[in-house]
């Protein structure tokens, strides 16, 4: 769930590189979504919200787009959810992926225009469930 911690305060507590990368990602995600950055928990920066319900009946609210500037890698959430994401991910640059997360070691190693488009697609795919 969203917290009241200022995003700027969180970023200021990171090492210089991750702080700068986090600030750049805030700009990129804000530009792509039109939504303000909000802290979700202790280390995730999210934009907007959408409601989900699993087949099990479990439901909740999650950011429509999000990232976490972790020490080892940048974690980018929701970028694989749109049907058009796969070809863009091939052009993103060096990354690895898990179920709903794309991991990037360095922001300067990837194509930021491709990332911006992936964020836009992630945003669009949750439009009908936005809260």
Task: Specify the CATH number for the domain of residue 90.
Answer: 3.90.1150
In a domain, 35, yes or no: yes
Q: How far apart are CA 53 and CA 62, in angstroms?
A: 11
Cβ-proximal residues to 103 (8 Å cutoff; 6+ apart), any chain: 73, 74, 75, 76, 95, 96, 97
pLDDT above 90 as % of the chain: 94
On whether residue 1 sits in a domain, the answer given is: no
* pTM (two decimals): 0.94
Range of the domain at 118: 7-129
Summarised one tens digit per residue, pLDDT across range 1-19 is: 899 999 999 999 999 999 9
Domain count, the chain: 1
Q: What is the pLDDT of residues 34-55, one digit of tens each?
A: 999 999 999 999 999 999 999 9
**Domain-embedded: residue 102:** yes
How confident is the model over 66-101, as pLDDT tens digits? 999 999 999 999 999 899 999 999 999 999 999 889
> For residue 40, what are the β-bridge partners?
2, 44
Residue 99 has a pLDDT of 85
Strand partners, 67: 45, 76
Q: Is residue 122 part of a domain?
A: yes
Q: What angle do CA 31, 37, 40 make, to 5 degrees?
A: 140
pLDDT tens column, 101-124:
999 999 999 999 999 999 999 999
In a domain, 2, yes or no: no
In this prediction, residue 100 carries a pLDDT of: 85
């Amino acid at each position: 769930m969203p917290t009241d911690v200022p995003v700027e305060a969180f970023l200021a507590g990171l090492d210089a590189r991750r702080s700068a990368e986090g600030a750049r990602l805030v700009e990129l995600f804000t530009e792509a979504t039109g939504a303000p950055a909000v802290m979700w928990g202790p280390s995730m920066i999210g934009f907007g919200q959408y409601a989900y319900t699993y087949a099990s009946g479990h439901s909740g609210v999650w950011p429509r787009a999000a990232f976490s500037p972790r020490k080892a890698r940048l974690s980018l959430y929701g970028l694989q959810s749109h049907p058009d994401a796969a070809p863009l991910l091939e052009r993103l640059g060096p990354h690895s992926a898990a179920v709903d997360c794309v991991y990037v070691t360095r922001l300067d190693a990837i194509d930021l225009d491709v990332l911006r488009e992936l964020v836009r697609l992630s945003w669009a795919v949750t439009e009908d469930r936005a809260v």
